[in-house]
Amino acid sequence: MTKHSVKTVLAAAVVTLAGSAAFAGTNYIKPGYAQNTNSGVTLELVRSDSAGVIYAYDARDGVEGKVLGSAPVKAGANTDVRIDFRTPALKDVLTVLYTGDTTTPAASAEVNDN
């Protein structure tokens, strides 16, 4: 392999990795263990690239239903984020993070009822 070919392959690899990292984003929700979802849920970790809001929805088959409650999050790592419910969940809960663009979810996770 020529010196030029090696540089081209390395440059392509760097561009691919950079694109993958940018696409993956830094927003995620780690719900933790199954919990009683009658009055609210506590999310173990929420990572957000900017300030935002977590909404909790009554979940049936992974589809968001009625809004149960919400909680603000700051940019960075947020631990033990508590969302108290205005009405009890019927079963599992879908949590969705919204940041700057409030119409597009930045991350989501399902919390299973125990």
Mean per-residue pLDDT over the chain, rounded? 79
Tell me: the pLDDT tens digits for 47-66? 999 999 999 999 876 667 89
Dihedral sign (CA 9, 12, 18, 22): negative
Residue 16, in any domain of the structure: no
Domain count, the chain: 1
Residue 37, in any domain of the structure: yes
Residue 18, in any domain of the structure: no
Query: Residue 47: which domain range?
Result: 26-111
Q: What's the number of CA atoms in the CB half-sphere (13 Å) around residue 35?
A: 17
Record the pTM: 0.72
Residue 102, in any domain of the structure: yes
CATH number at residue 35: 2.60.40.2550
